[in-house]
Amino acid sequence: MTDSAASRADGLPLETFTYDDAIVRKFTLATFIWGFVAMLVGVYIAIELAYPKANLGLPWFSFGRLRPLHTNAAIFAFAGNAIFAAVYYSVQRLCKTRMYSDVLSNLHFWGWQLIIVSAALTLPFGFTQGKEYAELEWPIDLAIAVVWVGFFGTNLMLTLINRRERHLYVAIWFYIASVVTVAVLHVFNSLVMVAGPLKSYSWYAGVQDAFIQWWYGHNAVAFFLTTPFLGLMYYFLPKAAERPVFSYKLSIIHFWSLVFIYIWAGPHHLHYTALPSWASTLGMVFSVMLWMPSWGGMINGLLTLRGAWHKVAADPILKFFVVAVTFYGMSTFEGPLLSVKSVNSLSHYTDWTIGHVHAGTLGWNGFLAFGMIYWLLPRLYQTDLWSKKLCSAHFWIGTLGIFMYWLSMYAAGITQGLMWRAFDETGSLAYPEFIETVTRLIPMYWIRAAGGALFLLGVVLMGVNFFMTWKNRPKEYAKATHQAPPLAKKYKPEAAYSSDLENVVGMGKKLDEITSLSWHRRWEGRPVKFTLWVVVAVSIASLFEAIPTWLVESNRETIASVKPYTPLELVGRDIYISEGCYTCHSQMIRPMRHETERYGEYSKPGEFVYDHPFQWGSRRIGPDLHRVGGVRNHLWHWDHFNNPPDITPGSIMPPYPWLLVDDLDYDVIPSRVRAMTMIGVPYSKEDVTQGIEMAREQAALIAAEMEEQGGPAASETKDKKVIALIAYLQRLGTDLLNPVEEEEPADGAEGGE
Amino acid sequence: MSREHDQQGAGNDPMLLDHNYDGIQEFDNPTPGWWHVIFIGSVIFAILYVQVYMFGPGSSEQDKYNIEVAQHYERLFADVGDLEPNEETILRIMHEDDLQRFMPVAEAIFTSKCAACHGALGQGGTGPNMTDDAYLHVKNLEDIGTVILEGARAGAMPAWEKRLHPNQITLLAAYVAKLRGTNVPGKMKEGEVPAPWPEYEPAGN
Residue pair A365/A225 in contact by the 8 Å Cβ criterion: yes
What pLDDT shows up at residue B136? 92
State CA A255 to chain mean position distance. Answer: 21
A349 three-class SS: strand
For residue A107, is pLDDT > 70? yes
pLDDT tens by residue, A395-442? 999 999 999 999 999 999 999 999 999 999 999 999 999 999 999 999
pLDDT tens by residue, A688-736? 999 999 999 999 999 999 999 889 999 999 999 999 999 999 999 999 9
Count the alpha carbons within 13 Å of A714 in the hemisphere toward its beta carbon. Answer: 15
Residue A726 sits at φ, ψ, to 5 deg, of -65, -40
- Residue B161 located in a structural domain: yes
For chain B, helix (H) and strand (E) counts, in that order, are 7, 0
For residue B130, is pLDDT > 60? yes
**End-to-end Cα spacing for chain A:** 74
pLDDT tens by residue, A464-488? 999 999 999 999 999 899 999 999 8
Kindly state whether B56 is in contact with chain A, defined as any CB-CB distance less than 8 angstroms: no
For residue A747, is pLDDT > 80? no
**Domain extent for B155:** 82-179
Kindly state whether B139 is in contact with chain A, defined as any CB-CB distance less than 8 angstroms: no
* A630·B104 Cβ contact <8 A: no
Smallest Cβ distance to A633: which of B21, B107, B126?
A: B126
Least confident of A370-379, A489-498, B140-149, B169-178: A489-498
As a residue count, chain B comes to 205
Report the residue of chain B nearest A430, measured CA to CA.
Answer: B108
Q: What is the mean pLDDT of residues B52-71?
A: 87
Kindly state whether B73 is in contact with chain A, defined as any CB-CB distance less than 8 angstroms: no
What pLDDT shows up at residue A744? 47
* A285·B50 Cβ contact <8 A: yes
The Cα angle at residue A184 between residues A273 and A107, in degrees rounded to 5? 130
- Count of pairs with CB atoms under 8 A, one residue in A, one in B: 191
Cis peptide before A613 (omega within 30 of 0): yes
Report the residue of chain A nearest B50, measured CA to CA.
Answer: A281
Q: What is the 3-state secondary structure (H, E, C) of A359-384?
A: HHHHHHHHHHHHHHHHHHHHHHHCCC
Smallest Cβ distance to A427: which of B53, B72, B156?
A: B72
What pLDDT shows up at residue B204? 57
- Residues of chain B found within 8 Å of residue A235, distances taken between Cβ atoms: 22, 24
**Confidence band (pLDDT; 50, 70, 90) for A554?**
low
DSSP class of residue A90 equals H
CA distance A729 to chain B (A): 14
- Residue B56 located in a structural domain: no
pLDDT tens by residue, A609-635? 999 999 999 999 999 999 999 999 999
Report the residue of chain B nearest A705, measured CA to CA.
Answer: B154
* B31·A247 Cβ contact <8 A: yes
For the beta carbon of residue A93, count every other beta carbon within 10 angstroms. Answer: 18
CATH number assigned to the domain comprising residue B86:
1.10.760.10
Kindly state whether B30 is in contact with chain A, defined as any CB-CB distance less than 8 angstroms: yes
Indicate the number of domains in chain B. Answer: 1
Kindly state whether B21 is in contact with chain A, defined as any CB-CB distance less than 8 angstroms: yes
CA distance A281 to chain B (A): 7
**Confidence band (pLDDT; 50, 70, 90) for A10?**
low
**Confidence band (pLDDT; 50, 70, 90) for A7?**
very low
Q: Which residues lie across from A429 on neighbouring strands?
A: A423
- Residue B13 located in a structural domain: no
What pLDDT shows up at residue B184? 94
Q: How far is CA A714 from CA A635, A658, A701, A725, B198, in A?
A: 11, 18, 9, 16, 41
* B156·A633 Cβ contact <8 A: yes
Average pLDDT over all residues of chain B: 88
**End-to-end Cα spacing for chain B:** 106
- Residue B165 located in a structural domain: yes
What span, in angstroms and rounded, lies between the C-alpha atoms of A295 and B41? 14
For residue B2, is pLDDT > 50? no
A105: nearest Cα among A122, A117, A87: A87
CA distance A669 to chain B (A): 27
* A281·B49 Cβ contact <8 A: yes
What pLDDT shows up at residue B58? 72
Smallest Cβ distance to B108: which of A2, A282, A428?
A: A428
A386: nearest Cα among A314, A472, A315: A472
**Confidence band (pLDDT; 50, 70, 90) for A356?**
very high
- Residue B162 located in a structural domain: yes
What span, in angstroms and rounded, lies between the C-alpha atoms of A261 and A264? 6
Count the alpha carbons within 13 Å of A17 in the hemisphere toward its beta carbon. Answer: 20
**Confidence band (pLDDT; 50, 70, 90) for B7?**
very low
**Confidence band (pLDDT; 50, 70, 90) for A511?**
confident
What pLDDT shows up at residue B12? 57
Which amino acid type is present at position A39?
M
- Residue B89 located in a structural domain: yes
- Residue B35 located in a structural domain: no
- Residues of chain B found within 8 Å of residue A285, distances taken between Cβ atoms: 45-46, 49-50
**Confidence band (pLDDT; 50, 70, 90) for A297?**
very high
Q: What is the mean pLDDT of residues B11-39?
A: 89
- CB neighbour list of residue B82: distance below 8 Å, 6 or more residues apart: B166, B167
Q: What is the mean pLDDT of residues A243-248?
A: 95
Kindly state whether B70 is in contact with chain A, defined as any CB-CB distance less than 8 angstroms: no
- Residue B160 located in a structural domain: yes
